[in-house]
Amino acid sequence: MQSQLSRSTNRSKMVPEFTGNWHQHREKPRILVKCGGFSSQLARNVNEKVDGDPLWGSRFDATQPDAVIKTHLDFLRKGADIILTNTYQSSVEGFMKHLGKTREESIALIAKSVELARQARTLYLTEVAENNGDIAPDMPLILASIGPYGAHLHDGSEYTGSYANLVNFSQLQKWHKPRIDTCLAAGIDGLAVETLPCQLEALAVTDLILTRYATPRFWVSFQCKDSSSLAHGESFAEAALAVWNMVVKYRAKSRLIGIGVNCVNPNHVSPLLKSLLAKLLDGDTVPLVVYSNRGEIYDSDRGEWTGTGLNVASFVPEWLRLGVRIIGGCCRVYPDDIQEIRQTIEDIAQQPNSPIQTSLVI
């Protein structure tokens, strides 16, 4: 597959605010490609270990910002429509503890992460224009990565949700609010609330977004331990449905980009989504988002990934049949994998009577 840079049309160097439908363009649903595992690729662009760091990739917004920009560009040049800010493990507490920052400096560093993503997008669009490239006028998009409370604890609890027994609804909202406030003020296209291991946190953050902020669009993505359960043990279908019902209650369907799963074994994705679809009422259509890992397992004690990786692109046709509209990758999914995912989607979109189209169709 060729890079998006090789496609032919003229394109403005500035991206307008995205106000259209994320999933529908003309008569066919539009499939968007998310970037892959940011910190996995970042590790290839820095001379320090990333996995196992208490700040994970977030440290490098402060120490190696050029590498952060390059990592965003690596995914954009391979066909990503959506990049996430490097804020998954960013927190005021974490930056104060591990970087010696003040509260104000910590907030500024979160804002800097958004700015680095915006710089990468500007550089990419300049390349596109110089090469007469062709991408849709509202692409690429920048979403703020809103990782779980457990990520800042640096104890692996983002993959167990054990902290759900130690914090309550309002405490989780209070903890998430500074990062969300900062990212929105810095200028992003939406919020990627991701890798949530427990229902409590999903509902707390969804309620926070819907009640405290008037317009931001968002997705909610869960971390699951098997083909039916969240990492903390709740039913994925029940948790996802609870988020959907909250969105419906607040009459905010237009603000929901999607509900789905990330950093899960790709073999678990289809059963998880089918369990949700089976619970929906007739007429309900929940937008779905998926960005799995490669099926490997992270050993927090050893600080490394174990197991044999799977080809994520091979799962894409099945996910599309289930109605997934945003597909990408998480840990250990690299730019070449994103290119293969995009090529798979484009090949399907180009088939006669294809029910989908990609972001490149204008």
pLDDT tens per residue across all 362 residues of the chain: 344 443 332 333 333 343 445 454 446 889 999 999 999 999 999 988 888 889 999 999 999 999 999 999 999 999 999 999 999 999 999 999 999 999 999 999 999 999 999 999 999 999 999 998 888 888 999 999 999 999 999 888 988 999 999 999 999 999 999 999 999 999 999 999 999 999 999 999 999 999 999 999 999 999 999 999 999 999 999 999 999 999 999 999 999 999 999 999 999 999 999 999 999 988 889 999 999 999 988 776 777 778 889 999 999 999 999 999 999 999 999 999 999 999 999 999 998 888 888 875 32
**Which domains, ranges and CATH numbers included, belong to the chain?**
32-349 (3.20.20.330)
Beta bridge partners of 229: 235
Strand locations in the chain (E) = 24-25, 28-33, 82-84, 141-146, 190-196, 218-222, 256-262, 288-292, 297-299, 304-306, 324-329, 357-358
Q: pTM of the prediction?
A: 0.91
Strand partners, 28: 25
Contacts of 115 (CB under 8 A, 6+ apart): 186
Q: Report phi then psi at 114, rounded to 5.
A: -65, -45
Find out whether 35 is annotated in a ligand binding site: no
Q: How many CB atoms lie within 10 A of CB 260?
A: 29
331 is in an annotated binding site: yes
